[in-house]
Structure 1
Amino acid sequence: MFRNYVNKVNRILKQFRINGNRNIISILCAIGGTATLLITVYKMDFFSNVNAMQLKNKSPKIVVLTAREKRFIRFASVDYDGQVYMTPNDFLKSVLEADPTPRMYRKLLGQTDLQKIKDATPPISQNSTRLFRSLGENGIISYTEYLFLLSILMKPQSGFTIAFNMYDTDHNGKIDKNEFLIVEKIFSNVWNRKRGVIRELTDQEQYVDDEQGLQKKHFVDTTLVFHFFGKESNTDLNIDDFKAFMKHLQREVLELEFNEFSRGLMTISEVDFAKILLRYTYLGTAEYDKYINRLMENLKDTKGITFEDFEAFFQFLKNLEDFTLAIRMYILADHPISEEGFQKAVHMCTGRNLSEHLVHTMFVIFDENGDGLLSYREFIAIMKDRLHRGFKSFVNKKGYKAFKSCVRHEMETLA
């Protein structure tokens, strides 16, 4: 029997060495060497004691997942060496759909799979508005890159240009891989907020492993790295190529969203446009129907919204903060927000004009009093929700949790 326990201990020690748990072995040996360890195994459950020692020497990590972390984990469909990743197709679904495609498990990737991804990734010179659709499942996107890509969809291009130029130390319009990773992290950190200490991680949340959130301690070159810096990650990224990438990504997502409603036609209906505006909001069913019914009852000229008008409007939304400031100046000057005033404010912020029909359609949606003027507070609040697609729409709208969420949202707005 004693020999059986010796063999058992040897197997346990071997397993710990494989897993790198040398600190636990050192603690046990310091207590009294192998003999003490044998007695411990004989008298009680060894693994319970190991867990107790771990808890005594290092308290368990306690974190709360942010909405973005939760969403990334839900949509990420592949796993490499314990790190979860999105595919390009996962990313598109995460910004366009409420829920991921049902799956039994994540696909486990090996070195061969990474080599195939590397070989399939086109260079930046071949970037297009179909890049993510053409790559499909053949690519990996890390959590940091996920946040960075969201920033591209929601922030004006000027901020990225400034950051790019800051790290272009020799002013040649190019940055290398390491400099880009710094720029990427700057925009990713905008999304990160301090987590509250509430509960231990569950098995489903094991990916929050260290101070970098979902990032493990090892790093792997991803699809974006190969696309920007070549197969060997040794070329520089040109600012003009990066601007084209941003423009193409924005257009690709908008094309998918537009095509969902256009059904192959050149335009979408004004009602469908309103549905797209309202789809990522806190509105309850009754409030949602109020806006749709208002449009259907009061819009006389229905000629549809073209993709060009659709794209111009969402480019304007990326400058919503500047637009809000301009609108406040109108209010302070005691000017009502008419369609003409709205157009002026948009032009001040973006240098572009929206079509008269699109602006009129919006005014009908947000003309609460029927006086031909914009209810700007409603408009700004709803457009902020719409701009942050995917993070404010799929929430519980009932009960105490919804009340707390609403209060928190208002407090953050006032801060």
Structure 2
Amino acid sequence: MEGAAADATFEKPSFTERTVGNYENRLRKFSSPERVFEYFSSVEIDKQFFMTRDDLARAVTPYTYRHGAPLASKNPKFNAKASVQKNPKDVAEEYLRLVRKVLLDTPHVTPGDVAALLQFRDGHRVDFEMHGGPQRKKTFFDLVDADGDGLISYPEYMFFNTLLTIPQRQFELAFKMFDSDGNGKLDHREFKQVYYTIMDLMRLRTPAGRQDRSLQDDDAPIFKHLFGELATETLSYEAFCAFRRDLKQEIMRIQISFPLYLDPAVLSALHSSLWMT
């Protein structure tokens, strides 16, 4: 009976879904970080693409062969049928305008006014904060989004990707290598050397990685959260490891809360893969 219930809950994917899902799994595993970022990005601003929270969750979570799971790129570069999403800031402003119209600006609200508001809400992601609720406590996912615009840029994605994929031992060795004064702490300049050294090692792992574009010194906005707004603080190895652990926990939370149609076996495998490094 339990098996029958499971089969009813999780339908088998169609041939098209399986084909696209297999392609996306190969893309995640073998393609360069830049190509993965572009494929899963869904927001375009000034000809630059950015990831939303859901885009990032899809980029790091394998396809699970369940009918109805999110598939296909939302980037018109990879999918001609895709439509670029609005900047979340624009969506929030439009939603607040409609709410203000219904609650404040319209003396006699009609069913059509309410219907327009509900239609907009159902067609966009309107979360508790956008609706006027208090801002939630910052998570380490938000620290990856260094400028706080609700989007992940390519440099931010590379920093996130590097933290999750490089073994901790390599970070430890690089940390000690650039600790010039031997005090067990790095300043902002020394840590950037650690990061770019580790990122170069990651690129050398695969031919695709060697084709990835390089990042410049000003492409690391996340570091201000580790060293302060003016980059004058220092960072110990223990504090960095704590930051990395918390980031992994945040990604695990996103993967579990994201509607990926996962069964317990898949969730267990994802949890193990995140904590092995």
Normalising by structure 2, we get a TM-score of 0.49
Greater share of residues in helix: 1
Using CA pairs below 8 Å that are at least 6 residues apart, which structure has the higher relative contact order? 2
- Report the TM-score when normalising by structure 1: 0.35
